[in-house]
Each structure stands twice: as structure tokens, then as C-alpha cells.
């Protein structure tokens, strides 16, 4: 179980009372500050657009209330409200996304090799 100490100023600043939000923020606070200093909100949103909806599942911790369903409306709301925090969380979760894409590439390369072999065999006949 993860825990975080939440100051009253953090509660007031973020206008969030849910512990999950503050734990997620606490884990990437330094990166969020660095992103805010170097990346505009629009650029952060643009970078987040490169991830598939399924890959953005870690962002559900930022959803308000009980609206924690993985759909484009929920994710768009989260990303627009917390662009830098969302990007920091996704950066923290890059490896599973990269691994999934590498597996897809390997599968596609194997399929391409099979099709090229089939094409070559059909030309020989």
C-alpha cells in the first residue's frame, strides 16, 4: 500500500481531496516541475496524443470522483486538466508501452516475411 503525506496547501492548491491523486503527484512532482519549466501545456498534450487510449490507463488515478472508466472522454478531461502531470505519469510508465510496440513490430515482421515468402513461391510456380 502506498502512502503520502498531504499538506493542506497541496489540498487547496490542487483542489483535490483524493489520496490516489496526491500519491501519484508525489511520485512525479519533480518531473512535473521540470516539464512545466520546459514544455508548454499544448506540447505536453501533443506528446500524450502519441499514446493509445489503452496505454493511458495509468492516468485514471487522476480522474475525479467515480468516473474512472477508460474512455476517450475521461482521458481527454484528465489530459486537459493536468497535462504536465499526465505526461510525467506516462513517462514513468513508458517501458510497458515500448515492450508492447516491440512485440507488435516483431509479429508484423514475421507476417511480412511469411507474405514475402508466399509471394516468392507464387512467382516460381
Per-residue pLDDT tens over the stretch 46-89: 999 999 999 999 999 999 877 788 999 999 999 999 999 999 99
Please tell me the pTM assigned to this model: 0.78
Residue 39: what are its φ and ψ, rounded to 5°? -130, 130
Q: Which residues form the domain of 37? A: 8-92
64 and 99 fall within a common domain: no
Task: Identify the pLDDT of residue 60.
Answer: 94
Rounded CA separation 27/70 (Å): 22
Please write the tens of the pLDDT for every residue from 17-33.
787 888 888 899 999 99
Task: Identify the pLDDT of residue 64.
Answer: 87
Confidence category of residue 10, pLDDT binned at 50, 70, 90 = low
Helices 94-124 and 83-92 pack at an angle, to 10 degrees, of 60
77 and 100 fall within a common domain: no
Count of residues in the chain: 125
88 and 110 fall within a common domain: no
**Between these two residues, 34 and 17, which has the higher pLDDT value?**
34
Task: Identify the pLDDT of residue 52.
Answer: 94
Buried b (16+ CB within 10 A) or exposed e, 10-32: beeeeebeeeebbebbebbeebb
Task: Identify the pLDDT of residue 124.
Answer: 81
Domain tally for the chain?
A: 2
Asked if residue 3 belongs to a domain, the reply is no
100 and 88 fall within a common domain: no
C-alpha distances in Å from residue 60, one per residue of 20, 104, 117? 10, 25, 44
| Residue pair 86/44 in contact by the 8 Å Cβ criterion | yes
Rounded CA separation 57/75 (Å): 9
- Helix and strand tally (H, E) in the chain? 6, 0
Task: Identify the pLDDT of residue 4.
Answer: 62
Task: Identify the pLDDT of residue 19.
Answer: 79
pLDDT mean across residues, the chain: 89
Amino acid at each position: 500500500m502506498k502512502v503520502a503525506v498531504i499538506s493542506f496547501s497541496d489540498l487547496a492548491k490542487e483542489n483535490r481531496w483524493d489520496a490516489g491523486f496526491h500519491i501519484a503527484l508525489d511520485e512525479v512532482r519533480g518531473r512535473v516541475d521540470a516539464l512545466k519549466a520546459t514544455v508548454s501545456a499544448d506540447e505536453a498534450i501533443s506528446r500524450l496524443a502519441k499514446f493509445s487510449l489503452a496505454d493511458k490507463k495509468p492516468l485514471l488515478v487522476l480522474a475525479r470522483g467515480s468516473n474512472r472508466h477508460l474512455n476517450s472522454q475521461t482521458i481527454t478531461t484528465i489530459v486537459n486538466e493536468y497535462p504536465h502531470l499526465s505526461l510525467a505519469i506516462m513517462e514513468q510508465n513508458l517501458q510497458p508501452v515500448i515492450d508492447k510496440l516491440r512485440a507488435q513490430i516483431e509479429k508484423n515482421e514475421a507476417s511480412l516475411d511469411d507474405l514475402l515468402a508466399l509471394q516468392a513461391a507464387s512467382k516460381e510456380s
